Every structure is written in structure tokens, then in C-alpha cells.
Structure 1
């Protein structure tokens, strides 16, 4: 990414805000800067009474190929204690919390590779539309780290089911859009050339819904989803990730 390139492209069309991850030459990896910008845009959109729908997509060939491992490795080299790395992981958690708690209806528009933290980002959106070329992967344990990014593991278990998520994490096989649909990771699969149209067919009528009813429905859905969870162990995710990467670095 050049120094003047913006990591996000944000456009507003009345009640619909579109956010596009914009570092396609790097697979739209989630750097600390991108996470800062994402959180700022999410908070601003949530505070705007005119906005009702938010669409999240990626520029270039892929939606998002995960966290920025180059940045995390560099941070660990500079600060072997893992404190700086943990700070980036906390940013990821805040972005996912913002997606989960916003009163806006969020739509993930997915194509190409949806990997690791990219899958976490997508699964925190309310609705997910994927192109037929989508490929999904949770490769964390192959790299020697736990699947501790953004508090996504319980969200995946709630959306998909414990048995299948266990397979996704431990076996860590890649899977396609058809399988993602079967697992309820995707709500709809369409040909690549119809992806924009499919998202618009959801976003446009949602934007016309009465705003109070829309936000109340979101609050109810979020509340009922959290009801079975007596404690939130994902609060430790940034520390788990930092500790695991610190240990892995010491071994090398």
C-alpha cells in the first residue's frame, strides 16, 4: 500500500453506507490502521440517524485474507513482550463488537478468499451474500496460534454449530461457497456478476424499513443470541493471541 492510499473506501447512498476494504494488492489484510478506520466509520454510521444499512465488501480479487501477519511479526520483533501485538488484537475485538452491537443491519458482500480474521469479520455481519468463487479457511492452528481473533469463535459456534466449527478449526480444511451456504455462513450464493445486484435486493428494502422497528429488532436478536452465554471468555482473546505468538516466536 502506498502511503497516500486509503485502507477503506466509504460511500453513502442515503440510508445505505458501503465500506470497501481497499488494500487489494495485500489481500485486504486487517492492519492496525485499517481496524482504526473501520471502527471510526462503524461508530459514525451507527450515530447517524439517517443510516439504516451498512454493506461491507473488499476491493480486488479477495474479500479479506486475514490479519496482517507481517505487521504482527514486526510488532513482535520490536516488542517481544507482545504488548504492541495485543493492542492490535484489541482493535480487532472492538471492530467485531461494533459490528455485533450496531443498530444498523449489516451485510457482508463476499468474494474470493475469506480467511481467518476475514471470516471473523464476515460472520459478525447480520446477512452474508457470497459469490460462487468464495473460498473459506480458518488456518490459525497450522500457524501455531489459537483461533482467538475478535471473539469470533462463539459467534461461529452460535451461527454454525459446535460440531462443524470443531472440524473447521481442528482439521482446518478450505471449503467453498456451497459448503458455506450449507453451514449457514452464507445466506445466499450467487454468480460473481450478480453479487452487487443480490446485495442491493436486500439493502434497498431494508433501507425503507421504519428505523425504530429495525433497530429494536436488531437489539432483540442480539439480546436473545447472548442469553445462553453466562460468561464471555472471548474477553481474553487478545491476550491469548499475543501469548501464543510470543511463545511461537521464542521457539524460532
Structure 2
């Protein structure tokens, strides 16, 4: 997708992990760390928050995409390790998790219609970013995976689990989370993870097929409709445990790090 460089006055900062552009009321946001598979870093989260906070009031549609062959390969585990090295109790993980939740909520609760444009792989945190969007179109070759349990982590990032349960259903989510298996774009559509699947070269056309009618809608009616949709979705979740995501992730990682210390190995042996 062709995007224009964002001017400094839009966010007041130079963007390192994103490219953004505007075509009238359309805002394009592209994850732009292709050498790392657009892995989610603290810098990327900070920049997403800055761009979404600074979006123009006239914005009707936001398109979230990824540069390179993959949409997003998930969280940057090297950065997680760095956070734990700085503070084994997990304070850095908690701070990062809080930012992740804020980003996903900024996409879900955005007054504009948010569209995820997905090619290649969408894994873990990448899938969470896509699920936070209202509409999701994927290339027919795209694949998806929730690898957290296989990596020794809880499925606790950005409110991913409650969104999955709401969109997909408990039985299917349980199988995907517990097995950590990959699934195809076609299966993703059957699960409502995607609403449309097209050849990769047709992704932009599919995005614009959704965007163009939205741009003709009354801005006030669009905002109220988004509020209603989100309110009803929240009501069906009854209790949303996403507020615990950062604490759960930090606790599990801190415990794993402690288990590798001499004292942790000693206590584990005595237990």
C-alpha cells in the first residue's frame, strides 16, 4: 500500500518503527521493521500510541498494515529478556504490557473504523493487533498462530484472549491456545478471525472496498454506531480480564527467570 511520510507536526516525534500517511479522511499506519518481521517493541507501541493520539478529528478510516513479507511476528522476546535483566521482578514487562493494552484499546475504541490488512504471518501480539481492529482482510497465503504456551508464556497481551473468546468462541480458542498450532487464512475466516480472504495482490482493493462506503457515512452516526457495537461486545464478555494481562505476563516471566537462579534451583529441588 502506498503511504506518504508523516510530517513532524502530526506527532511531534520522528517515527522509527512505523510509516504513516493520509489520503483525506483515511489514515494509513504501517508497521515498518521488516528485518525483524515487524516484531512488537516498546518503540513500536510508543509510536502507535503517539500516532493514534494525534489522529485528525476528521479521520474516518484507519488501515493497519505491515511492511515486508509478514504482517507481524509477535512480541520481541529479546526485548523481554532485556527487561528481565534490568529488573527480574518484571516491572519492565508490566510497563510494556500496559502500553500494549492501551494500543489495542485505542484501535478498538477508535471513533474511526479500523481495518487490518494482513499478509504472511500474524503471530501472538501481531494477531492481537489485528483482532483489535473492526475489520480484517487477509491474503489467502496468510497464516496465524498463538505460540505463547509453547514458549512458556500465558496468552496475556493487549486483551487478546477476551477478544478471541468473543469473536471465535471458547471451544475453538481453547484448542488454538493449548496446541499453539498454526492455522490458515481459510480457517481464520471460518473462525471470524478474518472477515475476508483474497489473493495478496488484491489486499489493497479489498481494503478500499470496505473504506469507500464508510467514508460516505455520517460522521456522527459512525461514531455512535462504533460505540454501540463496542458496548454490546463488552456486555457479552461479562468480565474482561485484560486488565490483568501485564501482571500475568510479568509474573510468569519473573518466575521463570527466578527458577534459573541458584536460589531458585535450590528451592525447586527441595519442593
Q: Calculate the TM-score normalised by the size of structure 2.
A: 0.89
Q: Could you tell me which of 187, 200, 216 is aligned with 2:195?
A: 187
Q: Distance in 1 between matches of 2:152 and 2:115?
A: 31
Contact 2:162 2:241 in 1 (8 A): no
**Offset of 1:232 from its aligned partner?**
2.7
**In the alignment, structure 1 residue 200 sits paired with structure 2 residue 208:** yes
Shift of 1:251: 2.6
Q: Summarize the alignment of residues 1-252 of structure 1 with structure 2, pairs less than 5 Å apart.
A: 6-45=16-55, 48-252=56-260
Gaps of 5+ in 1: none
Q: Which has the larger radius of gyration?
A: 2
| Structure 1 stretch displaced more, 78-87 or 135-144 | 78-87
Q: Structure 1: how far apart are the matches of 2:137 and 2:240? A: 28
Deviations 1:94-129 (A, max 9, x none): 101111111110000000010000001100100000
Q: CA deviation at 1:8?
A: 0.4
* 1:198-224 Cα deviation digits (max 9, x unpaired): 111111221221111111110000011
Stretch moving more, 206-215 or 140-149: 206-215
CA distance in 2, matches of 1:183, 1:156: 10
**Runs of at least 5 residues in structure 2 that lack an aligned partner in the other structure:** 1-13, 261-271
Distance, in Å, in 1 between the alignment partners of 2:76 and 2:168 is: 26
203-212 vs 173-182, which deviates more?
203-212
Name the CA shift for 1:231/1:210 in 2 (closer, same or farther; >3 Å): same
Q: Secondary structure at the match of 2:115?
A: strand
Measure how far apart 1:85 and its partner are.
1.6
Q: Distance in 1 between matches of 2:240 and 2:150?
A: 25
d(CA) in 2 for partners of 1:55 and 1:234? 24
Distance 1:197 1:247 in 2: 47
Displacement of 1:5:
7.1
Which whole-Å CA distance do the structure 1 matches of 2:57 and 2:105 have between them? 20
> For structure 1, which segment, 96-105 or 50-59, has the greater mean C-alpha deviation from structure 2 after superposition?
96-105
Could you list the per-position Cα deviations for residues 65-105 of structure 1 after superposition, in whole angstroms to 9, with x for gaps in the alignment?
00111101111011111101211111101101111111110
Aligned equivalent of 2:4:
none
Give runs of ≥4 in structure 1 deviating > 4 Å: none
Alignment deviations for residues 40-77 of structure 1 (CA, whole Å, 9 cap, x no partner): 111222xx221100000000010000011110111101
Q: Distance in 2 between matches of 1:84 and 1:197?
A: 40
- Note the alpha carbon deviations across 1:132-185, whole angstroms, 9 max, x for none: 111100000111110000111011110011110001100111001000011010
Distance 1:167 1:114 in 2: 18
